[in-house]
A and B are shown apart, each in its own frame.
Chain A
Amino acid sequence: MGSKDRVWEVFRQEAEGDPMIHGGSVNAPDEELATHYAREFYGRRQESERLWIVPRDAITELDDPDLLKPPFDRSFKRPGGFLIKHKLEAARERAGGDGGSSTEEGAE
């Protein structure tokens, strides 16, 4: 690759309506060649419906762990954050039934 080349990130859509997913990147000196190369690497085998070709320096990156990985347990904010399996088992015991346990397996 030449010293004047820029890096272009390529996103692809596999089927109409699908989200754009990151495919990889290409080196190219300008937008036109970047488009040609993106097509060669991510689109010439009929695997893509659409490509987005974005200069890497146009991307704003956020990777600060203080912002993205806060140190305190916030698992209660997630949909799966509450663990109710054991509470259910205790409740069943109190009620004296054996209740079809298989139906609650995914309920944590």
Chain B
Amino acid sequence: MTDLDPTTRDALAELLLAMADDEFVLGFWDSEWTGIAPILEEDVAMSSVSQDEIGHARALYELLAEVTGGDADQIAFGRPAEGYRHAALMNHARSDWAFTIARRFLYEHADAVRLESLAASSYQPLADLAVKMRREETYHILHFDLWLKRLAEGGDESHARLAAGIDRLWPDAQTVFAPLAGEACLVAARILPDTLEAMRARWLERIRPRLEAAHLPVPTTPGSPGADGRTQRTDEFAWLHGEFTMVARSEEDATW
């Protein structure tokens, strides 16, 4: 528990849950590549990156549990599918390799912008965690920038599949920066040093030259994401939720 006032505490909890769910759900989707990635070395690399995300989610859920007085495992595994607050970008099944790379590219840069901002958060435990996560995310950016380039230059089919992935994910990618109910409160308290819309502008500046260099279309619509960017759930996510909560649900009160 912390000495924050209830309004600020709820707003902080909303932010932490959004970030944790982003990392958690993406980590689960991409862990599905374990055993079937295009080459053995990439299989290990993708699995390890996915584990990194689950690790980040765990750290964020633990921080959230401290703020709200809850239990990290319960928050992670004990909610119904509609209780998750990840961005709509993470609602999609992994699909093919190009689609997975398109999502990783869009998400990693969004996450990087978010963590850079939060490294200056007035809420010190969050600032400390952001600094720590950024060090691990350095490699993620390198890896998925490289894969974007490889697929873009890998021939007509891989370029077309990648372009289709970017195009399909574009509207939902904006929702990583969907407004939060308590955002104004967080910005006023400098817990969130920048507005999400300012972060989205920074993200667009960063991904645009990379997409252009890869001769990939940069969609111009839609603009700002709506307030429902983190509350829409799909059948695909409902299926994944069933998978990742299966063991936890098998013995509700078990001590593992």
Q: Which residues of A contact B (CB under 8 A)?
A: 1-2, 5, 26-28, 32-33, 36-37, 39-41, 44
Contacts and interface: CB of A to CB of B under 8 A. Distances in A.
Contacts of A36: 45, 139, 142-143, 146
Interface residues of B, number: 13
B142 A37 contact: no
Interface in B143-173: 143, 146, 150
B41 A39 contact: no
Contact of A40 (B38, B44, B146, B150): B44
B41 A27 contact: yes
Contacts of A1: 39-41
Contacts of B39: 1-2, 5, 27
Given A1-B39, A2-B39, A5-B39, A41 B142 contact: no
B34 interface: no
A42 B41 CA distance: 12
B41 A41 contact: yes
B40 A27 contact: yes
A26 B44 CA distance: 11
Nearest to B142: A36
Contacts of A33: 41, 146, 150
A23 B39 CA distance: 20
Interface string B184-199: 0000000000000000
Interface in B3-48: 38-42, 44-45, 48
A32 B45 contact: no
Contact of A26 (B41, B142, B143): B41
A27 B39 CA distance: 9
A41 B143 contact: no
B45 A37 contact: yes
B141 to A, nearest CB: 12
Contacts of A27: 39-41
Contacts of B38: 2
A37 B38 CA distance: 13
